[in-house]
Homo-oligomer: A and B are copies of this chain.
Amino acid sequence: MRVGLDIGGTKIDAVAIDDDGAPIESLRLASGFGDLAVLTNAAEALARLRDATGHDFESIGVGIPGLVDPSTGRVRHAVNLGFDDVDFGHDLSALTGVPVSVENDVNAAALGAYHLMGLDGPVAYLNLGTGLAAGIVLDGRLWRGARGVSGEIGHIPIDPSGFVCPCGQRGCLETIASGSAIARQWPTGAEHPAQALFAAADAGDPEARRIRTALATGVAAAVRILVLTVDVESVVIGGGLSHVGPPLLECVRDVLDDWAAQSEFLASLDLPERIRLLPEGLSVAAVGAAMLGRPESVLRA
């Protein structure tokens, strides 16, 4: 049995999987703030999973937002968790006596989505959260790239006269197609800003419609880049914005259909058919993290 933890800014999702990768037990705890709190809560989640299943774990995998070095388990810039530079993998392994793999949460989610959605062929998981980034699964295995920046497509510029991005470039995908892009252009006190934006656009607000169209165009451009560069068969759209649901997918498909009408070449790529939404309620990052313990889950660079 293997276990995976999806450690987010507010909660830890913990899942135990059997040898076939099927989830057999899961639970959720608050993640806490600061490295000691997060480590303690992670260890607590593991202890409870062990009690619930009655089994020890062969391996622990962790998906975590931040700059992760999977070779050492070191985590930097985990801003939402309140720590900057922690040997998280080492520390959690010392606490539990079990080998720990650490991965950034988007890569873990890509691996989990591939397995839980029963996908075939190469897959990109496009995470539309505060930022925009993708995880890539080739030959059923996670592709991290030479230096772990594979899928960082949020910082590909597509418009020289676009918005300035915090990364220092201009016109990055992330400046129009992410939670931060919505927050900057459509400030709202609503609990779900993307849903609020879509509702205002549906109600006819011209500025909301403009921002929504730009968002859909950015997502469509991300899909085009993923297909023309890596030629993934499917792009799974997940992350906070994916909770908008089918209306998001429709807007993106509208853009892709418009493009296909103007370009036979693009039409031949079947982009509208290649995208799908991450279904609600799947613990993709936790299950993907659990799978990291299997050596065959990662494609070596």
Contact = CB atoms under 8 A, between A and B. Distances in A.
Contacts of A153: 228-229
B225 A229 contact: yes
A156 interface: yes
Interface stretch (A49-57, A90-98, A194-202, A260-268): A260-268
Given A147-B231, A301-B138, A266 B158 contact: no
- Helix, strand, loop or mixed for chain A's interface? loop
A168 B301 contact: no
Interface string A261-294: 0111110010000000000000000000000000
Contact of A138 (B156, B228, B299): B299
Given A138-B299, A139-B299, A301-B121, A145 B230 contact: yes
Copies in the complex: 2
A238 interface: no
A119 B144 CA distance: 18
A158 B155 contact: no
Contact of A265 (B138, B168, B229, B263): B168
Contacts of A151: 228-229, 231
Interface in A125-165: 134, 136, 138-139, 143-153, 155-161
A80 interface: no
Interface residues of A, number: 48
Given A122-B146, A138-B299, A301-B122, A228 B157 contact: no
A300 B147 contact: no
A138 B149 contact: no
Contacts of A226: 229
Interface-centre pick from A136, A228, A259, A262 (highest chain B CB count, 10 A): A228
